[in-house]
Amino acid sequence: MKKFLISLLFLVLFVILAWWSWDWYKKIALCCGDTLPATTDVAVEEIIYGPLTFDWENGSATTHESWADKKNELLADLADGKVLRIVGPYFSEEVNTTSFENLGLARADAVQKLLLDSIPAEKMEIDSKLLDPNADAKTKPFEGIDFAWVIRNENVQEIDNKALIYFPYNSTQRIDNANISDYLNKV
């Protein structure tokens, strides 16, 4: 009799557990008469790009609405003894079909051509920078152009956040040079 009662108790517990599990499964799996909630369309935000963007494996630049403002900002900083350094981005995975060493130089050259109507070519120089791989860059336009006004004269040259100051060879006298004095006073 004792075995029968224990078996009956386990059978009742099993039925209760099975019934509760089935009810839980219906609610979670949304089967057996439950309807799916109505879906709402998710609004896709429009991506707002900066003044210039580039496409994968393409050396040309695409201008956007804010290009005129950026161009005016660059023109406002135009000064004697300074050169606009334009650094174009590129990825190592890109196939380069241009005549330049890499697509960064081609992109910087394209931007330089956009500025030629306002800034003389001798006041600009181009360079490139390698960017880390980015999966979105293959399918979406990307930014990354850098502009910097750097000092370039016969005595002082700024290169990559460094300054090269040229002094006469084998000289022990202080030089009275306006370029060097101006640069050191500004620093």
The answer to whether residues 54 and 61 touch, using CB atoms and an 8 Å cutoff, is yes
Per-domain residue ranges for the chain? 52-152
Residue by residue, pLDDT tens for the chain (187 residues) are 788 888 888 888 888 888 877 777 777 665 555 565 667 777 777 778 889 999 999 999 999 999 999 999 999 988 888 899 999 999 999 999 999 999 999 999 999 999 999 999 999 999 999 999 888 888 889 998 999 998 887 777 777 777 777 777 777 766 666 766 676 677 6
170 conformational bin, left if phi > 0, alpha if psi -120 to 50, beta if neither: left
Answer positive or negative: Cα dihedral of 31, 37, 41, 45: negative
CATH of span 52-152: 3.30.1330.60
The H-or-E segment that residue 173 falls in is none
The pair phi, psi for residue 131, each rounded to 5°, is -100, 155
Rounded CA-CA distance 108/126 in Å is 6
**Would you state the structure tokens that stand for residue 17, as one six-digit string?**
């557990």
